[in-house]
Amino acid sequence: MKAVVKEKKGYDNIIYKEVPVPVISEDEVLVKVMATGICGSDLHIFHDVFPYWPPVILGHEFAGIIVEKGRNITRFEIGDRVTSEPQQKVCGVCRFCRAGKPHLCSSKRSPGWGIDGAMAEYIKISDCQLHKIPDSVSFTEGAVIEPASTVTHAVIERGNIKVNDFVVVTGAGAIGLIAAQIAKACGARRIAITGLDIDEEYRLKVAKELKIDFVLNVQKESLKDLVMRNTEDFGADIVIECSGSESAFNDAIEILAKNGRLVGLGLSGKESINIKWDKAVQKEIEIIPSMSSTFSSWKHTISLLNENKLDLGKIISDVMPLSQYRKAFEKIEKKQGLKIVLVPDKEYN
């Protein structure tokens, strides 16, 4: 089969090549991949700034069809349309695994960096973290369930969003646009989403199409004015920071109400950043980082999809053949479009 493989450590070293179809054990299924999303972490691996164990097939956001199953698999059938949580090879016995938080297990090895991933025609995966995709959800949308679940984890489980919250989402990329939709589904009063000049052409337009209450280019308009005007000068109840930028963190501290919550799911890509700590202390702001997803957050995401409260199709800007992964990576580097999904060439038409 064809696959996108990170061959060895270092910058780039990624090639599209022929590799053997994986052989499953009795506790695994073989999934014919129909769509794989490209994640920021795939680009970090390209740039050699994320942990990985080469040679390894990239990609952890996928959807496909079960074509073969091990004899211990009882909950799934051949032909099932599925996607999978990424936490594989977890130990099952540490305090985090036992508390239902395998995403924090130190032994975790996810597809795409720790074990072979889904930028390929087939992937083998253990059944314990598989989920069926709702019939109404396409394979390309199904490939976005994983990143969407990192957002439900952040917004619902970590951020504890409440009915009537005034919400600000900083960053109008795929994650930010999903976060705004989830906040709305959870009963937020009003939601503002921010972007930059570079986002005007595409991302802020999608935000408007999604009917987010306030869509704002912070290089042209004042976020603080907007928030204060709409909150009787108290400030926002919750900021969902999806950009990882230092200035966005500091803006968040400025515009949050006292006792506000700052949920951070964007990585800065730096060793450290400067934040207005004293102001955060004076306002008793809760700073809540969030990472990856949990079983319960996947359940939330799939149920929001079933109820038509989450539109993942709108988040997908491009569907490209797998062999064109380099072109897709370049688009992402230039911040063009939103989520790009790759489809194995044989399935692409």
Where on the chain is the footprint of Zn ion (CB under 5 A)? 39, 90-91, 94, 97, 105
- Closer CB to Zn ion, residue 90 or residue 188? 90
Helix (H) or strand (E) holding 177: helix 174-185
CA gap 199, 210 in Å, rounded:
15
CB of 58 to Zn ion, least distance (A): 11
Residue 90 or 338: the one with the smaller Cβ distance to Zn ion is 90
Angstrom distance (rounded) from CA 20 to CA 3: 9
Shortest gap between Cβ of 96 and Zn ion (angstroms)? 5
Q: List the beta bridge partners of residue 168.
A: 192, 239
CB 290 within 8 A of CB 264: yes
Minimum CB–partner distance for residue 338 and Zn ion (Å)? 14
Residue type, 197: D
Q: How far is the CB of 272 from Zn ion (least distance, A)?
A: 23
Instruction: Find the shortest distance in angstroms from Cβ 255 to Zn ion.
Output: 28
Distance (Å, rounded) from C-alpha 125 to C-alpha 115? Answer: 10
**Residue (39 or 215) nearer to Zn ion, CB:** 39
b/e per residue 151-168 (b: at least 16 CB within 10 A): bbbbbbebbebeeebbbb
Which residue, 190 or 300, has its beta carbon nearer to Zn ion? 300
CB of 99 to Zn ion, least distance (A): 10
Q: From the CB of 5, what's the least distance to Zn ion, in Å?
A: 18
Q: Which of 49, 2, 1 is nearest to 325 (CA)?
A: 2
Q: Is 153 helix (H, G, I), strand (E, B) or coil?
A: helix
Alpha helix stretches (DSSP H) within 20-91: 40-46
Enumerate residues 6+ apart whose C-beta is below 8 A from 221.
none
CB of residue 13 vs Zn ion: minimum separation in angstroms?
20
Q: Is 332 helix (H, G, I), strand (E, B) or coil?
A: helix
Query: Given the complex with Zn ion, which of 241 and 251 has the nearer CB atom?
Result: 241
Q: Could you write out the DSSP letters of every residue in 272-317?
A: -----HHHHHHTT-EEEE--S--HHHHHHHHHHHHTT---SGGGEE
User: Any idea which residue has 């911040």 for tokens?
Assistant: 335
Query: Pairing between strand 316-321 and 214-217?
Result: unpaired
Cβ closest to Zn ion, residue 166 vs residue 298: 298
DSSP H or E stretch at residue 320: strand 316-321
CB 97, min distance to Zn ion, A: 3
- Nearer residue to Zn ion within complex by CB, 234 or 295: 295
15 vs 91, beta carbon nearer Zn ion: 91
